[in-house]
Structure 1
C-alpha cells in the first residue's frame, strides 16, 4: 500500500499542464462517441448476458466499454474476484445524482448520464447507436514510457476532472459458488481502479504521466475519462479516449 501511494504521489508530482498547439495521438483513431460502464457482479444471476454485451461493445472502435464489478452481492455465497468497494461507491454516486433509491446489477451507465438496466439489450444498443461524439476531444498516446494526455480547448467549458482508468482487457473467471456456480464468465475491459490525475476548465491541457500508474491489479490497458462532478458525485462524461491496444 505504501509503495502504491508513493507511485501515485510520484505521478502527481510529474504532471505537466501545458497548452499544446496540437493534440497528441494518431489522427486515425476515431473519437469516442459514448462510454458504457456496466456495473456487474459474479454473484448476479442476470449479469452474464450483460457481460457478453459489454464484450461486444468493447470491439466497437467508437465506443469505450468498461466492466465495473461491485461487491454488494458477495454475501450470497461467492465473493466477486474482481470487485472493489470503490466501484460500489461510484455506482452509488450515479444513483444519488439520478435520484434512484437503490443499487442494482446489471446496470449500464452511458456517458455518465443515462442509467438503464444492463439486461435491456435492445434499449441499450439503441441508446449507444444514437449517441453522438462526446463534446470535448481527448487524445492519448505513449512516448518514452510516459502517457501523454491532451484535452482540447473549449470556449464553453464545464469544469471537469481527468481520470486515468487501468483495465484488464480480457479476464475469464470460473465461478465456484452462488447463482452462477459452474459457469465461466469472460469479462472485457475490467476496471482495476479510477485515478484522478488532473482538472480541466476549458483551456487546452496536456498531462504527462508515468506509465507505471497503469501497472496495477493485473491491468494491461487503460482509458481516459473527462468527467464533471467527482468520484463522490459522478456526473456527465464529456470526453474520453482509449489507450493503445484498447
Structure 2
C-alpha cells in the first residue's frame, strides 16, 4: 500500500519566474541561533504560497559545547564547509545562503527580505517539478527537469516542517526552542540525460505525512549556483486516497 503526494502546480514557478532556496545553518547549542530560527519560521509562513524553499541544517560542531542537538549531522557541517570554500565565507552560525550565491548572518531580517525580493523578481533558467509516492518505508520521487541547467546535480531534502524542543544544557539551557523546516536527510544524485528520473528516499520512524515535505534543488557543485527548485507537500490528495481504498 502506498500514498501519493504531489506538488501544488505541475510545473512550479521556478522555471518561469524567480525563486529562492533559503538555507539556514543553525544549532540548538548556539545562543545566537534562536532569532534566526524564528525569522526562518516567519519567512516560511509569509511565503508559503510563493516559490520560496526553506531549509534548516543543524550542524554538529556545537555538539561539543555541552548540548547534543537531536537534529545535527556531520553531513550538514560538510555542506556548510563546501559553501565556505566556494563562497569564501567563514564557518559560523547562524548563517543563511540564498540560491547558493548570497550569504549573510541568519538573523539579518532586512538583508534576507531584500535578497528574497531581488531573486524572486528575477528569471530562472530551468524548470523543475517533482512528485512523491510513499511505498512501505521509503518515498519514490519522480522528477522532470527542463531548460538550461548543466552542469548540475539533483539534491533532495526530506524536511520536517516543525518541532519544539526543551534545551537542558549548553548556551540555550532552560529555553524552549521552535525549529522550522528541519532537514532530516539530504541526498545528491546525478541527473538523467533526458531530465526525467526516479529516486527513492528512506523515511525515518517518526515520519508523519502531513508534517513533512520533500524539497528538491538543481545545483552546480562547482559554483554552488542553484538553477531550479520544487517541493512535494506530503498530504494525500482525495483522488489518490480513493485509489488506495480500492
TM-score norm. by structure 1 comes to: 0.79
Q: How does 1:57-136 map to 2 (within 5 A)?
A: 57-59=43-45, 60=47, 61=49, 62-100=51-89, 102-131=90-119, 132-136=122-126
Give 3-state SS (helix, strand or coil) of 1:167's partner. Answer: strand
1:221 and 2:216 are equivalent in the alignment: no
Q: Is the 8 A contact 1:214 1:221 kept in 2?
A: no
Give structure 1 regions of 4+ aligned residues with deviation exceeding 4 angstroms.
none
Distance 1:178 1:76 in 2: 6
Other-structure match for 1:168? 160
What do you get for the CA RMSD once the two structures are aligned? Answer: 2.3
Instruction: Count how many residue pairs are aligned between Structure 1 and Structure 2.
Output: 213
Contact 1:34 1:134 in 2 (8 A): no
Please show how residues 1-246 of structure 1 align to structure 2 within 5 Å: 26-27=8-9, 30-32=12-14, 33-59=19-45, 60=47, 61=49, 62-100=51-89, 102-131=90-119, 132-142=122-132, 145=135, 146-152=140-146, 154=147, 156-199=148-191, 204-210=194-200, 213-216=201-204, 218-219=206-207, 220-229=212-221, 235-245=224-234
Deviation, 1:204, is 4.4
**1: distance between equivalents of 2:165 and 2:37?**
12
2:59–2:72: 8 Å Cα contact kept in structure 1?
Answer: yes
The match for 1:16 is none
**What is the match of residue 241 of structure 2?**
none
**What are structure 1's unaligned runs of at least 5 residues?**
1-23
CA displacement 1:192-221 (0-9 Å, x = unmatched): 121123326xx64111234xx141364532
Q: 1:34 to 1:104 in 2, by over 3 A?
A: same
